[in-house]
Amino acid sequence: KAGVTQTPRYLIKTRGQQVTLSCSPISGHRSVSWYQQTPGQGLQFLFEYFSETQRNKGNFPGRFSGRQFSNSRSEMNVSTLELGDSALYLCASSAGNYYGYTFGSGTRLTVV
Amino acid sequence: QQPVQSPQAVILREGEDAVINCSSSKALYSVHWYRQKHGEAPVFLMILLKGGEQKGHDKISASFNEKKQQSSLYLTASQLSYSGTYFCGTEIRNTGNQFYFGTGTSLTVIP
């Protein structure tokens, strides 16, 4: 059974640019969540999608957005990048409310 | 709304026991526990619902006190492979079950 796949693994972007990250969940998982991980702030919840609908959203500015497609694949977009957006972005999928999350290996974003 | 974990860091010798605590200021629907090794993604350990004890794998178990909004992770007879950062994750009631990870506990097991 394939795990959660995130692409790309590494990205270097310039301040002001935008970026799109991709996540393919485990087959059959309809819930996809996104997290930002930094040494100072730990794991911060960005948003969760279920069946193409955003079910929950964390406390991030509107520059952070996402979407989920009918095949449960999800994308996350960050516009007008700032230096502080440098982080490891993790995607996780779940089979439902009573199950844990399976994480992908993450995308390491560096903003210069 | 981020749950607080204690201790922040702990160093153990192989075979010793440890307890990691997770405390939330909000009423909780469930608590998850994850372990993250350096350079890797977090790995799910177990989920607890409504004040139950959940036996995990190896010698790791946990409890969830719904009234106190607290959970504890118990690691007995620790092994070198237990080293990593442990996170609790909490689903908060009446918020559409928003999910927040705790502050993390770094656990190092030495021979």
CB atoms within 10 A of CB A62: 6
- CA distances (Å), A3 to each of A23, A45, B72, B106, in order? 11, 20, 28, 26
Identify the sign of the CA torsion A42, A44, A50, A55: positive
Tokens 């993450």 correspond to A106
Q: How far apart are CA A72 and CA A100, in angstroms?
A: 17
List of chain A residues whose C-beta atoms are within 8 Å of the C-beta of residue B2: 42
CA A44 – CA A22 distance, rounded (Å): 18
Length of chain B: 111
What's the pLDDT score for residue A34?
Answer: 96
Which residue of B90, B98, B105, B106 is the best one to mutate when testing the A interface, meaning the one whose CB has the most A CBs within 10 A? B98
Q: B101 vs A42: CB contact, 8 Å cut-off?
A: yes
Determine the distance in angstroms separating the CA of A10 from the nearest CA of chain B, rounded to an integer. Answer: 13
**Best residue in A101, A102, A107, A108 for a mutation probing chain B (most B CBs within 10 Å):** A101
Which residue, among B99, B100, B101, would best test binding to A if mutated, counting the most A CBs under 10 Å from its CB?
Answer: B99
Among A56, A90, A99, the residue with its CB nearest the CB of B96 is A56
Q: Please answer whether residues B90 and B102 qualify as being in contact, where contact means their C-beta atoms are separated by less than 8 angstroms.
A: yes
pLDDT tens digits, one per residue of A21-68: 999 999 999 999 999 999 888 899 999 999 999 988 888 999 999 999
Handedness of CA B22, B28, B30, B36 (dihedral sign): negative
The CA distance from B45 to the nearest CA of chain A, in Å, is: 8
Is pLDDT at A103 greater than 90 in this prediction?
A: yes
Contacts of A61 (CB under 8 A, 6+ apart): none
pLDDT at B36 over 60: yes
Q: What is the pLDDT of residue B14?
A: 97
Q: How far B35 CA sits from the closest chain A CA (Å)? A: 11
Q: Answer yes or no: is pLDDT of B55 > 60.
A: no
Encode pLDDT of B58-107 as tens digits: 689 998 888 888 999 999 999 999 999 999 999 877 666 678 899 999 99
> Is B86 within 8 Å of chain A by CB?
no
Report B:28-67 residues touching A (Cβ under 8 A).
30, 32, 34, 40-47, 49
